[in-house]
Structure 1
Amino acid sequence: MKAYVFPGQGSQFRGMGQDLYQQSDAARLLFEQANEVLGYSLTTIMFNGTDEDLKQTVYTQPAVFLHGVILAMTTESFAPDMVAGHSLGELSALTAAGVLSFEDGLRLASVRATAMQRACDLIPSTMAAVLGLADDVIERVCSEITEEIVVPANYNCPGQVVISGSVAGIQLAEERLKAAGAKRVVPLAVSGAFHSPFMEPAQTEFAEAVQHMPFSAPRCPVYQNVNAIAVADPQQIKANLIAQLTSPVRWTQSVERMVTDGATEFYECGPGKVLQGLIKKISSGTPAVGIQ
């Protein structure tokens, strides 16, 4: 069974999507339609913007969404038996599976990005990658820090969990995690604490947009981040998508469940190769390649 997966923020690169734009008339029309929907030229930022431009959440998320979805929509062999997306990539997966129209998916990606950027600007917060430590130890250390907010944010693969929280909380967690045996704790160059309570203002804004958007039943099973299981009911999909902003991305568990449910090959649909690398660490015997 073929599983298609969609990356999230962090996979962007300067010039992303330009080859697709130049080589496919269908892709070019979709890119130009996206510019009209957004009211500005996202393609200019994607193709000619600086690295700093692309690091801005308000541009990064729609750009990554656009690259993955247009790639899926213009690839003749795209025929998923199941889909999933990492964080923002869940919106791409839902759109590719027919839950959202192209235009509505893009609008939600833009609302999500803007709301999260506003939340990041309210209170300084950050994230860090914890390497070489068991999930339960990381969870325990975070839960024992009561004077600051620190939570697991991304279960990326065995031995790699990203934590999210206040600046002071992350610094405190780094000390305790290293004492608990972590090989490394790497601060991430992000604008805020995604998938944590710091995103509650963004969640409120995003929820309003989601609730007013029509969602259809997916054409294939969609494995969502918050519970790592296939969900088909549109109302439950909405609830999980909203909850995701303040809940951890259970990527390890999602891939494991997809393999258990019959996935025999994974295809990453979007910029970069991040998910391919994670899948190989989660399920080393399952092929994972990218769509070009």
Structure 2
Amino acid sequence: MNAYVFPGQGAQFSGMGLDLYEASPKAQELFEKANKLLGFAITDIMFEGSAEDLKQTKVTQPAIFLHSVILSQVLGEEFKPDLVAGHSLGEFSALVANGTLAFEDGLKLVHKRALAMQKACENQSSTMAAVLGLEDQIVEDVCQSIDGVVVPANYNCPGQLVISGATEAVKKACETLKEKGAKRAMILPVGGAFHSPLMEPAREELAQAISETHFNQPNCPIYQNVSTTAVTDPEAIKQNLIAQLTAPVKWTQTMQQMLADGMTSYTEVGPGKVLQGLLKKVDRRFPTNSASLPEKE
């Protein structure tokens, strides 16, 4: 059971994708197609832009998507997933990788998602915070006790949960969580309250775009952030993808389910090694690896 997993926002780095572009004519073709579809040269920002340039949500999301998807497409015969999953944004990469979405449709949806989320972030002062060293239940209870919008957003691994919401509510929750014994409760440098009710305007915009996009029958199951279980029905995939914007990313539970279902290999496809590190905290005995750049064609 070969699992391929795809990272989300935060995995970007300056120079990302340049090695792919230089190594593969197919990668060059897909990157140039992306530039035309997006209406701007995202390759210039990916290959030469600063870390600050890459931090803009409208750039970050398509950049990570492109790095992940193009790498999966140039792996050739080596790429044989039995199951896929993606962390937040990475779910779109996974859906192209398993044939549910065409490359062009996936990129258009990611671009739409990024712009809608950017707009929602500008509507209200909001943020996210990482909480380390507490049981999930304690974090959930504290969030419920705070006046204002603050909710669990990313269940990344045991002892690491990200909360999301209105800025003052998140700050208050961090203070309370430290009193409860959190090793750390720190505000993250993000654009807004992803995976919280404050993303509702973005969810509505994305729902419209997803409803108008053709989803194929996947060639292998995807374990989605909302359901945490294997999904193959295109309509269910659509609904989970829409719900994801305002619902928590249940990554810990997803990894536990994939292990329970018989996953035997775990390959991260895209920039960084964040997801490998998270799985090690779920089950450190399990081997992980990164998809490697193929030989020059």
Do structure 1's residue 153 and structure 2's residue 153 form an aligned pair? yes
- Specify the alignment match of 1:113 in structure 2: 114
The TM-score, its normalising length taken from structure 1, stands at 0.99
Pairing 1:76-87 to 2, within 5 Å after superposition? 76=76, 77-87=78-88
Alignment partners' CA distance in 2, 1:32 and 1:193: 32
| Deviation of 1:217 (Å) | 1.3
Do structure 1's residue 285 and structure 2's residue 282 form an aligned pair? no
| Deviation of 1:189 (Å) | 0.1
Alignment partners' CA distance in 1, 2:239 and 2:209: 12
1:43 maps to a residue whose letter is T
- What's the secondary structure of 1:3's corresponding residue? strand
Alignment partners' CA distance in 2, 1:266 and 1:28: 27
- What's the secondary structure of 1:163's corresponding residue? strand
| Deviation of 1:284 (Å) | 1.2
2:171 maps to a residue whose letter is Q
- Specify the alignment match of 1:99 in structure 2: 100
1:12 maps to a residue whose letter is Q
| Deviation of 1:186 (Å) | 1.5
Identity of aligned residues (%): 59
- Specify the alignment match of 2:204 in structure 1: 204
- Number of aligned residues: 291
Alignment partners' CA distance in 2, 1:32 and 1:127: 34
Cα-to-partner distance string for 1:172-213 (whole Å, 9 max, x where unaligned)? 101111111111111100010000011000001111000000
- What's the secondary structure of 2:217's corresponding residue? coil
- Specify the alignment match of 1:18 in structure 2: 18
| Deviation of 1:50 (Å) | 1.3
Alignment partners' CA distance in 2, 1:217 and 1:13: 33
Alignment partners' CA distance in 1, 2:50 and 2:121: 21
What is the RMSD computed on CA atoms of the aligned residues? 0.6
Cα-to-partner distance string for 1:54-82 (whole Å, 9 max, x where unaligned)? 00000000000000000001102010010
Pairing 1:187-202 to 2, within 5 Å after superposition? 187-202=187-202
| Deviation of 1:39 (Å) | 1.2
- Specify the alignment match of 1:162 in structure 2: 162
- Specify the alignment match of 2:235 in structure 1: 235
| Deviation of 1:227 (Å) | 1.3
| Deviation of 1:123 (Å) | 0.4
1:88 maps to a residue whose letter is L
- Specify the alignment match of 1:55 in structure 2: 55
Would you identify which runs of 4 or more consecutive aligned residues in structure 1 move more than 4 Å?
none
- Specify the alignment match of 1:138 in structure 2: 139
1:87 maps to a residue whose letter is S
- What's the secondary structure of 2:244's corresponding residue? helix
- Specify the alignment match of 2:274 in structure 1: 274
Cα-to-partner distance string for 1:81-138 (whole Å, 9 max, x where unaligned)? 1000000000000110000000000000000000000000110100000000000110
The TM-score, its normalising length taken from structure 2, stands at 0.97
- What's the secondary structure of 1:245's corresponding residue? coil
| Deviation of 1:2 (Å) | 0.9
- What's the secondary structure of 1:155's corresponding residue? strand
Alignment partners' CA distance in 1, 2:186 and 2:270: 25
- What's the secondary structure of 2:141's corresponding residue? helix
Alignment partners' CA distance in 2, 1:283 and 1:66: 29
- Specify the alignment match of 1:220 in structure 2: 220
| Deviation of 1:243 (Å) | 0.2
